[in-house]
Amino acid sequence: MIIKGILFDINGTLIDIQTDEGNEEIYRGISHFLTYQGIHIHRWQVRDEYYQLMEQHRRASSETFPEFDTVELWRAFLLRRPEVCQSLDPEKLKWMPIFLAEMYRGISRNRLQLYPDVKNVLEKLLPRYRLAALSDAQSAWAVPEMRAVGIDGYFNPIVVSGDLGYRKPDRRIFQQALDGMQLPPENVLFVGNDMYRDVFGAKQVGMKTVFYSSNQGRKKASDAEPDYIIYQFSQLQQAIAFFEAQ
């Protein structure tokens, strides 16, 4: 196999992240912040309304694997209160949905770190291959998190499902990354940690797959069989050598 590019899943493959969306502090913090904007709402009302908007978005979508946009959800949350929106400075109102999305994620996050050896491996791969990243996530979260752990500069493109309205294993999200890399699937290796969303999804477009058995993701899925399995990220170099010898 001639490998010209490597496409990576992000969370659970490159980044070891843990969040708790049930954490009461998320909704308490947002509720208290909104008080200063003239919106008086209990923390659990914040939670319930946010998830109601998310569910409405999913029901309205015609996609098989729908994805929401967290910034647009918070914008819709604010626009439900037109009298408050009219009283806010327009520039502040413009940025508040982004700020709320970032606050939500920041308070929910318990862990954010690279898996061992990720940066060392990427440093060795970057001069030889085109590297790209693909994630079921939100741009308001994924890109800043990649920047925080120091890997945002390794990938082009970075494809995030929240920008598209659909998520893995939809074949279009993989094709979007391949188009950005300007490479055919037979020359690209996909590395991911979820047997269904990653391995099954990537195989639909004809990519060879490396399954990273990390502490996250589904380990089994029907009709999903990876071409190679690694248990430590450092083993990726051995996987690449295996494919290149074929």
CB distance 137 to 17 below 8 Å: no
Looking at the structure, do residues 121 and 186 belong to the same domain, yes or no? yes
Looking at the structure, do residues 84 and 143 belong to the same domain, yes or no? no
Please give the order of strands across the beta sheet that includes 188-192. Answer: 158-160, 130-135, 5-9, 188-192, 208-212, 228-230
Provide the domain limits for residue 30.
19-110
Single residue among 77, 110, 143 that ends a domain in this structure:
110
Looking at the structure, do residues 116 and 221 belong to the same domain, yes or no? yes
Looking at the structure, do residues 91 and 150 belong to the same domain, yes or no? no
CA distance 82 to 98: 18
Looking at the structure, do residues 121 and 225 belong to the same domain, yes or no? yes
Looking at the structure, do residues 175 and 98 belong to the same domain, yes or no? no
In Å, the largest CA–CA distance within the chain is 66
Q: Is the pLDDT of residue 126 over 90?
A: yes
pLDDT computed for residue 85 by the predictor? 87
Q: What band does 221 get if pLDDT is binned at 50, 70 and 90?
A: confident
The tokens describing 67, both together, are 């994805």
pLDDT computed for residue 179 by the predictor? 97
Among the listed residues 117, 49, 51, the one whose alpha carbon sits nearest the alpha carbon of residue 78: 49
Q: Is the pLDDT of residue 46 over 90?
A: yes
Single residue among 70, 93, 110 that ends a domain in this structure:
110
Single residue among 61, 83, 110 that ends a domain in this structure:
110
Q: Is the pLDDT of residue 222 over 90?
A: no
